Chains A and B, each alone.
Chain A
Amino acid sequence: MHDDQQLLTWLPRLRRYARALAGNRDDADDLVQDTLERAWSRSGLWRGVADMRAWLFAIMHNLHVDGVRRPRPQTVDQDEDFLEFASPPTQGERLDVLDLQAALDLLPIEQKEILLLVALEDMAYADVAATLGIPIGTVMSRLSRGRERLRALMEGRARPVRLKVVK
Chain B
Amino acid sequence: MSSQHHPITEADLHAYVDGQLTPERQREFEAYLGNRPDEAQRVQELRAQKRELRALFDPVLDEALPGRLLRAARPRPAWHQQRWVASLAIALVSGSAGWGLHTVFPPALAPPLAQQAPTSAFAQRAAVAHAVYSPELRRPVEVDAAHEDQLVTWLSKRMGAPMKPPRLQTVGYELEGGRLLPGGQGPVAQFMYRSIEAGGGRLTLYVSNEIGGPSTAAGVSKPASVNAETAFRFAQQGSVKVFYWVDGAFGYAIAADADRAALARVSSEVYRQLGSAATTN
> Which residues of A approach B to under 8 Å, CB–CB?
4-5, 7-8, 11-13, 15-17, 19-20, 29-30, 32-34, 36-37, 40, 66-67, 69-70, 72-79, 82-85, 97, 100-101, 104, 115-116, 118-120, 122, 124-125, 140, 143-144, 147, 150-151, 154
Contacts and interface: CB of A to CB of B under 8 A. Distances in A.
B65 A11 contact: yes
A119 B60 contact: no
A33 B264 contact: no
B69 A11 contact: yes
A34 to B, nearest CB: 7
Contacts of A151: 45-46, 49
A16 B57 contact: yes
B78 to A, nearest CB: 14
Interface stretch (B94-102, B176-184, B187-195, B228-236): B228-236
B14 interface: yes
A120 B63 CA distance: 16
Contacts of A32: 69, 72
A77 B268 contact: no
Contacts, number: 134
Given A16-B58, A72-B268, A144-B14, A83 B261 contact: yes
A144 B10 contact: yes
B75 A4 contact: yes
The 3 closest A-B pairs by CB, nearest first: A36-B72, A7-B73, A76-B231
A95 to B, nearest CB: 13
Contact of B53 (A36, A40, A76, A120): A120
A12 B60 contact: yes
The prevalent SS among residues of A at the interface is helix
B36 interface: no
A15 B65 CA distance: 9
A116 B53 CA distance: 8
A76 B113 contact: yes
B60 A100 contact: no
Contacts of B50: 118-119
Given A66-B279, A73-B245, A101-B56, A8 B61 contact: no
A19 B73 contact: no
A66 B276 contact: yes
B256 to A, nearest CB: 15
A13 B69 contact: no
Contacts of B231: 73-76
Q: Name the residue in B72, B74, B170 with the highest tally of chain A Cβ atoms < 10 Å from its Cβ.
A: B72
A104 B45 CA distance: 16
Contacts of B234: 75-79, 82
B139 interface: no
Interface string B260-272: 1100100010011
B230 A140 contact: no
A12 B65 contact: yes
Given A82-B260, A124-B20, A20 B232 contact: no
Contacts of B264: 75, 83, 85
A30 B264 CA distance: 13
9 contacts: A12-B63, A12-B65, A15-B61, A20-B57, A30-B272, A34-B272, A73-B229, A75-B264, A83-B264
B49 A11 contact: no
B18 interface: yes
A143 B232 contact: no
Nearest to B19: A122
Nearest to A11: B73
B61 A33 contact: no
Contacts of A19: 57, 60
